[in-house]
């Protein structure tokens, strides 16, 4: 019970609503039957009274005897009342001593030519329907007639209806409890499974998955939890891999720095040329270490939103020329050709020139790093509202299933060659953040073994922005 509290709450709510509905329907149906029986009985007694009056208004001497006989046969009690309220004639089981149903106001009303109807309960608790009407002689009210009919038969019928409604309501309520329990289990069980799954995910069991196949909001929630677990697992794996790689990347230059610095310090070289080569290795490892630290620091500032941009009007073609000049030497060292196709009269855009150059250099260096032979093409273009830069290489390509993740921090697509190529898994993440900070977007297409193309787009300013 404690483990399925939501099922208990849901069940109690449904049962409470069902109980209220059944109670309301039961009372309404009972009231409807009660009103129907009372109405029918009043109509029947009123018709019987009218028949008595018709008999009483005849001039035959036997009319009173016929009335009394008919009254006894109809199982009703009848009273003749004069204008003083005195009983002049009585027949039936009801005692003539009980005059509590006779009221002076009613007598006056009847002798004024009106009828009355009421319900009366005698001292023994018996209930009656009473109809009072005037009797005319020579167009004048000569007396009043009261006809009393016992409601015993009607009360028995209503009691039977009440018992039937109670029995039906109890059966329906028990059925509702069973249905509610099943519904509560059906609705709450997936939620309990989700609760258990999220607890496992929270303590680090990221392989946990929900096997809930439903095409409704619960199914959508289960799918969202599975997607969250998948993302967290991928983030954990890439982070662990990053820390392993970064540890190796730090350990390697530090080892080289310590080793070759010790060689130089202790004069364990034979020639000056050998000494210079050791110093050159120390310098290169220092540069490598500095590059790694700079990437980490840059990404940290971006994550904290502390990157400041100096927005100005910049020419994308000039940015491309400067970036290409910076990486030309690296391309020549690998025997790669840089083919630049710049569109003339490309519009100026608003951006941080230094950061845009950093974007282009990172993309070009990435292309050079993963291309062993062939060409790297750089192309600029524009439409009425955007300026685009495409950098396409003929390198190893990126597997299609890894394309959605290459901009994630710590992610390295070519893991087996990451240390040889020198990537830290931070470059593309930095590029994407810098592009988005300047209002642009970046897209990538790639085919394994054929090459990769990165396209960066920046929006052209509107007329209002140009005037600022």
Q: What is the pLDDT of residue 359?
A: 92
pLDDT digits (tens, 9 = 90+) for 105-148: 888 898 888 988 888 888 778 888 888 888 888 788 888 888 88
Q: What is the pLDDT of residue 463?
A: 52
- CB contact at 8 A, 131 and 125: no
pLDDT digits (tens, 9 = 90+) for 245-263: 677 767 777 888 888 898 8
Assign a CATH topology to domain 217-303: Helix Hairpins (1.10.287)
Distance CA 466, CA 468 (A): 6
What residue spans in the chain does CATH classification 3.30.565.10 cover?
312-467
Lowest-confidence range among 210-214, 340-344, 376-380? Answer: 210-214
In the chain, the percentage of residues whose pLDDT exceeds 90 is 16
Whether this prediction's pTM lies above 0.85 is answered by: no
246-277 in b/e burial notation, b at 16+ Cβ within 10 A?
Answer: beebeeebeebbeebeebbeeeebeeeeebee
Assign a CATH topology to domain 312-467: Heat Shock Protein 90 (3.30.565)
pLDDT of 432 higher than 60:
yes
Q: What is the CATH architecture of 2-156?
A: 2-Layer Sandwich (3.30)
Mean local confidence (pLDDT), 352-366: 91
300 vs 349: which has the higher pLDDT = 349
What residue spans in the chain does CATH classification 1.10.287.130 cover?
217-303
What is the residue-averaged pLDDT of the chain? 82
187 vs 273: which has the higher pLDDT = 273
């Amino acid at each position: 019970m404690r483990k399925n509290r939501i099922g208990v709450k849901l069940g109690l709510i449904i049962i409470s609503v069902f109980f209220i509905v059944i109670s309301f329907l039961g009372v309404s149906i009972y009231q409807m039957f009660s009103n129907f029986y009372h109405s029918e009985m009043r109509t029947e007694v009123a018709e019987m009274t009218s028949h008595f009056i018709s008999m009483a208004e005849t001039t035959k001497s036997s009319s009173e005897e016929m009335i009394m006989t008919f009254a006894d046969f109809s199982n009703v009690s009848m009273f003749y009342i004069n204008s003083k309220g005195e009983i002049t004639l009585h027949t039936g089981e009801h005692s003539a001593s009980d005059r509590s149903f006779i009221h002076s106001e009613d007598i006056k009303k009847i002798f004024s030519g009106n009828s009355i109807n009421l319900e009366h309960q005698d001292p023994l608790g018996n209930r009656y329907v009473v109809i009072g009407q005037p009797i005319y002689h020579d167009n004048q009210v000569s007396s009043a007639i009261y006809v009393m009919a016992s409601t015993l038969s009607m009360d028995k019928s209503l009691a039977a209806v009440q018992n039937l409604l109670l029995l039906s309501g109890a059966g329906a309520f028990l059925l509702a409890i069973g249905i509610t329990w099943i519904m509560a289990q059906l609705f709450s069980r997936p939620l309990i499974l989700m609760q258990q799954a999220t607890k496992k995910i929270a303590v680090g069991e990221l392989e946990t998955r929900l096997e809930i196949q439903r095409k409704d909001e619960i199914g959508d929630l289960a799918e969202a939890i599975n997607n969250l677990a998948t993302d967290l697992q991928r983030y954990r794996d890439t982070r662990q891999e990053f820390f392993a790689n970064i540890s190796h990347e730090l350990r390697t230059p530090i080892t080289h720095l310590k080793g070759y610095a010790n060689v130089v310090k202790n004069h364990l070289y034979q020639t000056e040329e050998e000494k210079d080569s050791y110093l050159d290795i120390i310098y290169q490892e220092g540069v490598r270490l500095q590059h790694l630290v700079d990437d980490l620091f840059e990404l940290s500032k971006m994550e904290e939103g502390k990157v400041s941009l100096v927005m100005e009007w910049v020419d994308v073609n000039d940015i491309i020329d400067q970036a290409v000049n910076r990486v030309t030497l690296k391309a020549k060292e690998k025997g790669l050709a840089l083919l630049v196709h710049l569109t003339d009269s490309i519009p100026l855009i608003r951006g941080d020139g230094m950061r845009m150059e950093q974007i282009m250099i990172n993309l070009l260096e990435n292309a050079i790093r993963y291309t062993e032979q062939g060409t790297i093409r750089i192309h600029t273009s524009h439409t009425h509202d955007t300026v685009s830069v495409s950098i396409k290489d003929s390198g190893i390509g990126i597997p299609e299933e890894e394309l959605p993740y290459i901009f994630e921090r710590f992610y390295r697509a070519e893991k087996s060659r990451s240390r040889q190529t020198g990537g830290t898994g931070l470059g593309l993440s930095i590029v994407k953040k810098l592009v988005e900070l300047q209002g642009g977007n970046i897209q990538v297409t790639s085919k394994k073994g054929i090459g990769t193309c990165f396209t960066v787009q920046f929006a052209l300013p509107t007329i209002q922005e140009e005037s600022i």
